[in-house]
């Protein structure tokens, strides 16, 4: 676990939406696209630094739709962090994020 306990952001924010996907441990491919100018990487960085979530990053080579080589990045939380968060107050937080 991180030095500081993870903090739950507002459930109806972009940070909350990303954290909800990470806590559900589901496939991110079906997640609704983010709107506006903020990037997923910026949201993940804020969740790590400001909210203390130990998000893991894995990158691998991929191909863009136009055939160019690129990198794909997957973000995840360790299973023990998910379990502890859900046991804490995460289930209630997820329900409020789904409303």
* pTM, to two decimals: 0.82
Backbone angles phi, psi at 4, to 5 degrees: -95, 145
pLDDT value of position 53: 97
pLDDT value of position 31: 55
Confidence of residue 88 (pLDDT cuts 50, 70, 90): confident
pLDDT higher at 85 or 39: 85
pLDDT value of position 1: 46
Q: pLDDT digits over 5-55, tens only?
A: 999 999 889 899 999 999 987 656 545 666 677 888 899 999 999 999 999
pLDDT value of position 7: 95
User: In the structure encoding, which two tokens stand for residue 2, read together?
Assistant: 């991180």
The residues near 92 (Cβ < 8 Å, ≥ 6 apart) are none
Q: Burial, 37: exposed, middle or buried (Cβ in 10 Å; 0-12, 13-18, 19+)? A: exposed
Residues across the chain: 99
Measured CA to CA, the distance from residue 36 to residue 51 in angstroms comes to 21
């Amino acid at each position: 676990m991180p030095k500081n306990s993870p903090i739950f952001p507002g459930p109806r924010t972009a940070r909350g939406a990303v954290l909800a996907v990470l806590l559900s441990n589901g496939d991110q491919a079906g997640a609704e696209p983010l709107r506006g100018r903020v990037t997923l990487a910026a949201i993940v960085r804020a969740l790590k630094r400001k909210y203390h979530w130990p998000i893991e990053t894995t990158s691998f080579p991929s191909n863009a739709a136009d055939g160019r080589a690129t990198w794909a990045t997957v973000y995840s939380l360790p299973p023990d962090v998910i379990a502890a968060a859900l046991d804490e107050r995460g289930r209630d937080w997820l329900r409020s994020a789904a409303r």
